[in-house]
Chains A and B, each alone.
Chain A
């Protein structure tokens, strides 16, 4: 094979990685697990001239619980799925990760990577939004925290600046219960047609619908009617209808926008019924 001179950087420390990012900015593509990047490269959608691989940065690989859950950006889907503590304390999060693609992909795909990719049909963003999670991004300028709903700005578009790296995801304590429903219209291996993540957090409802728009859809005003009240089946149906009315879903091979609207009403209601049970 011919070496076309693509540059490859494999920093081993956090400081080195952040310095490289600042230096190369958008000229270099960040490689986390590589699975999404590989798809883009194989399809000729990108042809990076330089890549910064984070695989050797051990500082980005950890799961820590100090009340809140801290997940290093380079933690893989599979590690989250199988982590005993996450399984016990955030079972819906483990469950959701177990539904992403297949084990072969989950062995490599990372939590930082999936959020930075901001693909509309990915499972994790909606769930992380419902869990009130935030991303920690870091640059030489310092660190800042961004709620996941503000991190994803559009299809494949995030609020991460060109000198910043997503280094950690924080899932705060306080979730009473959470539910993830992945509605597939075709094979088990398919991505969702509609996904619904719902959580009760400090008495408040957070509900995000994924895979129907460029970004996960959450409507705090609609959720507010459940604040401090127990969810009745009537309320669940109302919230389902309101979500369906508020979203203009996209069309793809998994279903038309009109169909998705119908499913949103049903699946939101079902998620809320499961949350209430």
Chain B
């Protein structure tokens, strides 16, 4: 498997090909909000298939959590980049040239930008009404507020917030903002589709084969069994390739063209396809003089763009992560997912956690300053310990927060002077409820084959699953093979997200092996289900069946005159439970830290009047090998512990560790990324200079 990556013979969705396939391109709206008055395709050359809203009128609304999307715009576009028409032609160039031949008349309409504006009274509505999706990705109590731009509002009501603040000796309040960021998987989105009679075949780069199948069945009004989704390995995803992206358009084009159609996005289109939620988060925290936390009130606004995608889930996780890994008797959280007229935002490595940890952990250091208590001491004093209840009411077990935090503090020499150093701590939930199944087949010659729907995007899940199976079977990993997801063959799995696959599949595998041995046949099937969920009005219940835990430390230098921050050292300590494949686990940590570094320092989508103005890799910068500070990390293991997922844990704590390090220079950062320009503004504030 790995050999094909170095030799270049591996085939991604971008490389998929079948005989007679045509190439597709999308015509996108130039306006953030407009009515389509007329589409004229008469100049499109013969031999090119054109698809417009007219051709897709019979198709159903879809969306993984809110059914707010149509395959192509139906008379109205809601963001600059919203697909208006699509074409398929013999070559990509012909398809490109055909796009220019389509004339569209628009009538521009007022648009709303920024979540704060979108929740203000009288804001124009991006969608008139919000219908919860029938897709099983809408797995929790989604609370849309019709007549507003809020498509989900999640609340935590724990203890008595007013009484809590009344008890506090010190109260700190601050508002934080995080900009949108791009996933930038090296392989862009790519999908190939064709119809065989009334059956739809799809080859697509996706982390969510079963959710894609479900939404395609909804769109075309056919049984799920008539849709087959195959997911070859992806050239990276980081959340970008979750739920439906191109599949609906490509399938509809293939239906009209009567032949296979393939679409690979241009790099620039990636910024119009799915980004990370910008967030505005206000935190108010109260503590006793001795540092005991007594109350915390948080308001989160997650800007989900023009279509909800999994924004409700992101807002929910942002909400229940925002109290942080601390014992706080009185907690009040409102977290809203808000529509605006910008490109859709969805799953992004860390899933809302990065935004809320930025706010929450920066506030801890502001509070520590006000109390005159060392930030490490303040955290140690309040962190959750075995048997403590979280603000959701669930009792916490298998907690290694203290060990993670101590390791991070030691790694950056916290006790040898604090100047330029910062720490942060997190717990992160896993998708709950969650269901995983796996099939283990004995080939009869001592070798085994695995079928499961875990997608491979570079995270190494396939090697981890094979390694675990080999360990259980007592054979060499070379004798265990695994297939890529194929909904016609793979047993059901929720999806490959939220760092759940290695953990869930390790348990499902144990069940499959038991089944194989008990039934004495050549096939064993194992399934595990984790139940849970939260009441959306009170936030009480089971947020997560399994908690990821981590801490980070940073050492920085600051150029006071330009605001340029030089990160000297980053450290992440992550609770791994039990490491399955060491090098792969290390790279998950390192990759998360590097992405966290980019998010902390410079990654930022610039949007002006709804238009992304830096949709290319020159104007949107991502970290290169020459940017890396010294980076170290731990994978903390505990004897007898379960395997914990590692795919995201080391990302969210990086930005606040750096922000907290800057605070030792009196520079109080509230907005991500911490561009030199923003840091200089904070220095001006410190020095009493008015810009």
The reply, when asked whether chain A contacts chain B directly with Cβ atoms under 8 A, is yes
Residues of A that sit less than 8 Å from B by CB: 1-2, 183, 185-191, 252-253, 255-256, 258-259, 262-263, 266-267
Contact (A266, B562) CB under 8 Å given A185-B602, A188-B626, A255-B676: yes
Q: Which residue of A lies closest to B684 (CB)?
A: A262
Contact (A187, B622) CB under 8 Å given A2-B93, A253-B613, A258-B691: yes
Residues of B that sit less than 8 Å from A by CB: 91, 93, 561-562, 564, 601-602, 606, 613-614, 618-624, 626-627, 675-677, 680, 691
Minimum CB–CB distance from B181 to chain A (whole Å) comes to 13
Cα(A56)–Cα(B312), bound, Å: 60
A contact face: mostly helix, strand, loop, or mixed: loop
Contact (A253, B562) CB under 8 Å given A187-B621, A191-B618, A258-B691: no
A255 and B619 form a contact (CB under 8 A): no
- CB-defined contacts of A185 to chain B, threshold 8 Å: 564, 602, 675-677
Minimum CB–CB distance from B186 to chain A (whole Å) comes to 15
B601 and A183 form a contact (CB under 8 A): no
| Pairs A–B under 8 Å by Cβ, sample size 11 | A1-B91, A183-B562, A186-B602, A187-B621, A187-B626, A188-B624, A253-B621, A258-B691, A259-B676, A262-B561, A267-B562
Candidate in B561, B601, B621, B626 with the most chain A CB atoms within 10 angstroms? B621
- CB-defined contacts of A255 to chain B, threshold 8 Å: 675-677
- CB-defined contacts of A267 to chain B, threshold 8 Å: 562
Minimum CB–CB distance from B99 to chain A (whole Å) comes to 11
B621 and A186 form a contact (CB under 8 A): yes
Cα(A230)–Cα(B622), bound, Å: 42
Contact (A263, B620) CB under 8 Å given A187-B602, A188-B627: no
Which are the 6 A-B pairs with shortest beta-carbon distances?
Answer: A186-B621, A186-B602, A188-B626, A187-B621, A259-B677, A253-B619
Contact (A253, B623) CB under 8 Å given A183-B562, A191-B618, A266-B562: no
Q: Which residue of B lies closest to A265 (CB)?
A: B561
Minimum CB–CB distance from B557 to chain A (whole Å) comes to 16
- Taking A187-B626, A189-B624, A256-B677 as known contacts, 13 extra A-B pairs with beta carbons closer than 8 A to each other, sorted by chain A number, are A1-B91, A185-B676, A186-B601, A186-B621, A187-B621, A188-B626, A191-B618, A253-B614, A255-B675, A259-B680, A263-B562, A266-B561, A266-B562
B627 and A253 form a contact (CB under 8 A): no
- CB-defined contacts of B606 to chain A, threshold 8 Å: 253
- CB-defined contacts of B680 to chain A, threshold 8 Å: 259, 262
A190 and B562 form a contact (CB under 8 A): no
- CB-defined contacts of B676 to chain A, threshold 8 Å: 185, 255, 259
- CB-defined contacts of B627 to chain A, threshold 8 Å: 187-189
Minimum CB–CB distance from B601 to chain A (whole Å) comes to 7
Contact (A189, B626) CB under 8 Å given A252-B619, A262-B562, A266-B561: yes
Cα(A275)–Cα(B677), bound, Å: 26
Cα(A186)–Cα(B600), bound, Å: 11
- CB-defined contacts of A259 to chain B, threshold 8 Å: 676-677, 680
- CB-defined contacts of B601 to chain A, threshold 8 Å: 186
Cα(A153)–Cα(B619), bound, Å: 24
Q: Which residue of B lies closest to A39 (CB)?
A: B618
Candidate in B602, B614, B676 with the most chain A CB atoms within 10 angstroms? B676
- CB-defined contacts of B624 to chain A, threshold 8 Å: 187-189
Cα(A143)–Cα(B655), bound, Å: 57
Cα(A258)–Cα(B691), bound, Å: 9
- CB-defined contacts of A187 to chain B, threshold 8 Å: 602, 621-624, 626-627
Cα(A96)–Cα(B622), bound, Å: 22
Q: Which residue of B lies closest to A193 (CB)?
A: B676
Cα(A1)–Cα(B90), bound, Å: 11
Minimum CB–CB distance from A77 to chain B (whole Å) comes to 17
- CB-defined contacts of A1 to chain B, threshold 8 Å: 91, 93
- CB-defined contacts of B621 to chain A, threshold 8 Å: 186-187, 189-190, 253
- CB-defined contacts of B564 to chain A, threshold 8 Å: 183, 185
Cα(A267)–Cα(B676), bound, Å: 14
- CB-defined contacts of A189 to chain B, threshold 8 Å: 621, 624, 626-627
- CB-defined contacts of A2 to chain B, threshold 8 Å: 91, 93
Q: Which residue of A lies closest to B96 (CB)?
A: A44
Candidate in A187, A191, A262, A267 with the most chain B CB atoms within 10 angstroms? A187
Q: Which residue of B lies closest to A266 (CB)?
A: B561
Minimum CB–CB distance from B36 to chain A (whole Å) comes to 24
Minimum CB–CB distance from A250 to chain B (whole Å) comes to 13
Candidate in B91, B623, B624, B675 with the most chain A CB atoms within 10 angstroms? B675
- CB-defined contacts of B675 to chain A, threshold 8 Å: 185-186, 255
Q: Which residue of A lies closest to B564 (CB)?
A: A185
